[in-house]
Chains A and B, each alone.
Chain A
Amino acid sequence: MNNLVDVAIQYGPTLFDGLKVSLTLTLLSLAFGLPLGLVFSFGVTARNKTFRYLSVFFVEVGRGAPALVLLQLMYYGLPNAEITLSSMASACLALTWTTAAYSAELIRGGIQSVPPGEVEGSHALGMSYRDCLRFVVIPQGLRIALPSLMGFAVLLFQATSLAYSVAVPELMSQAYSIGSSTFQYLPVFIVAGLLYAAISIPATWLSVFAERMLSRHL
């Protein structure tokens, strides 16, 4: 126990820097992945074949393949195609792909559960298809999808711990390097685990809370 406190005090700042990298990676992947997910959520049912097949490919591979495979694909694979990215950029690209694929399905689920009467209503009011999507369907669909998107964001934050395998200096790789230089594996990993838990447990509560708030009137 004393050991744990010592480690927490001595290596806390290093681990905290790692945590900041983890959070940055999460936020960047969400910032790029969510808009892309919205595009794919329409793409998988689009009439344009190229657009549809491309969306289905990205969604199915992004959801079907483990995040670890995508990470390694971007870091060890892309250099073969003469594209060499930094570890942070390749991790960001891989997790953006995962985010886009999962959020596409979550957003599609939300949009499909918008009552058809809403669309009929906007037709009856003479709104164009585009306005109907923009002002009626998408806002409500996103609202329905919000709790599950928040739940996904927590999982994504946890998935950033896999980025240590492509040398991103996030929390897990900081913990590992401290562990291998001091042989204090157990306390360091426990402190790192508690840091992860300190973010993801309250975030999960927040998503449950959001679900309760939003489903109050349904």
Chain B
Amino acid sequence: MEMIRAIAIGLPLTVLVTVLALLIGTVVALPIVAGLRSRNRLVWLMSRGLVDLLRGVPPVVWLFILYYGVSVGAIRLTALQAGVLGLGVVAAAYLAEIFRGAISSIPKGQWEASSALGFHRATVWSLIIGPQTARAVVPAYTTFAIGLLKDSSIASSIGVAEIVFMSSQYARQSGEGIMVFFVAAGVYILLSVPLGLLSRHLDIKMRKAVAR
């Protein structure tokens, strides 16, 4: 019972870290995608470099840099802030690549047709390219969200009291290590099932919406 309690205490933080990091990632990814699609070589090179650097360094290192390394005067980030921010910017790099791939998968004819019809750029993005990109992005986006759910466990390394942190604390106190980690694994698997179902549901719904 104690074991279930420990994991239940950690659960909300796991969800919180995942959701916040995903939000930050999605928002920050948008300017990066714009940079990756830019025709200006310098802007492109900087965005490309940023994405490669963010993805090339393991998330733990980013969290440690933010948590132990960054201090503005006497102000330091809390573990939760550092965790969410670190996972968020790494997510932004991965999501930017996902978005870029989805946008470039839209057939060229769609662009040509919309410019032939004289649509404004804003209209092209909001009514033509945007919706089709959203549909193309759903499977990869949810797969990434499930991955991020698991990566949120990395925040335990800087002391965010989420599922893995609580389980490992419990394991050390009680000496029942095998069971607690299997239950924790089960919780992660259970959490990712609804996400997978949601993804399939959205995919089917959007497939119907776009007549082909």
Partners in one complex: yes
Residues of A near B58 (CB, < 8 A) are 158-159, 161-162, 172, 193, 196
How far apart are B7's CB and chain A's nearest CB, in angstroms? Answer: 11
Interface string of B68-93 (1 = CB under 8 A from A): 11100000000000000000000000
Q: How far is the CB of B144 from chain A (nearest CB, A)?
A: 12
Closest A residue by C-beta to B152: A66
Q: Does A35 contact B (CB under 8 A)?
A: no
Stretch from A67-75, A136-144, A209-217 that touches the partner? A67-75
Check A73 against B56 for contact (C-beta < 8 Å).
no
Q: Which of A65, A68, A78, A204 has the most CB of B within 10 A?
A: A68
A162/B56 contact (C-beta < 8 A), A61-B185, A66-B150, A190-B65 known: no
Q: Produce 1/0 per residue, B88-110, CB < 8 A to A.
A: 00000000000000000000000
Q: Is B53 in contact with chain A by the CB < 8 A criterion? A: yes
Contact, CB under 8 Å: B56 / A76: no
Q: Do A69 and B69 form a contact, CB below 8 Å, given A158-B58, A161-B61? A: no
> What residues of B have a CB within 8 angstroms of the CB of A78 in the complex?
177-178
B61–A64 CB distance below 8 A: no
Q: Is B60 an interface residue (CB 8 A)?
A: yes
A85 CB–B CB distance under 8 Å: no
Q: Is the CB of B61 within 8 A of A172?
A: yes
Task: Write out the residue numbers on chain B whose beta carbons fall within 8 Å of the beta carbon of A218.
Answer: none
Give the interface size class of chain A: 35 or more
- Which of B181, B189, B192 is within 8 Å of A73, CB to CB? B181
A114-134: contact bitstring with B at CB < 8 Å (1 yes, 0 no)? Answer: 000000000000000000000
Per-residue contact bits, chain A 160-179, to B (CB 8 Å; 1 contact, 0 not)? 01101100000010011001
Query: Within the complex, what minimum Cβ distance (angstroms) separates B160 from chain A?
Result: 12
B193 vs chain A, min Cβ distance (A): 9
Contact, CB under 8 Å: B184 / A69: yes
If A72-B168, A78-B178, A186-B65 touch, whether A201 touches B56 (CB-CB below 8 Å) is yes
Q: Is B167 an interface residue (CB 8 A)?
A: yes
Contact, CB under 8 Å: A72 / B62: no
> In the complex, which residues of chain A have a beta carbon less than 8 angstroms from the beta carbon of B180?
77
Distance in angstroms from A103 CB to nearest chain B CB is: 16
The CA of A204 and the CA of B176, in the complex, are separated in Å by 40
Q: Does B135 contact A (CB under 8 A)?
A: no
The answer to whether the Cβ of A192 comes within 8 Å of any Cβ in the partner chain is yes
24 contacts between A and B (CB under 8 A): A60-B189, A64-B150, A65-B184, A65-B188, A66-B151, A66-B164, A67-B150, A68-B156, A69-B184, A69-B188, A76-B181, A77-B180, A78-B178, A158-B59, A161-B61, A162-B58, A172-B58, A172-B61, A176-B64, A185-B69, A186-B69, A190-B69, A193-B58, A197-B52
Binding site for A on B (CB under 8 A): 52-53, 55-62, 64-65, 68-70, 150-151, 153-154, 156-157, 164, 167-168, 171-172, 175-178, 180-182, 184-185, 188-189, 192
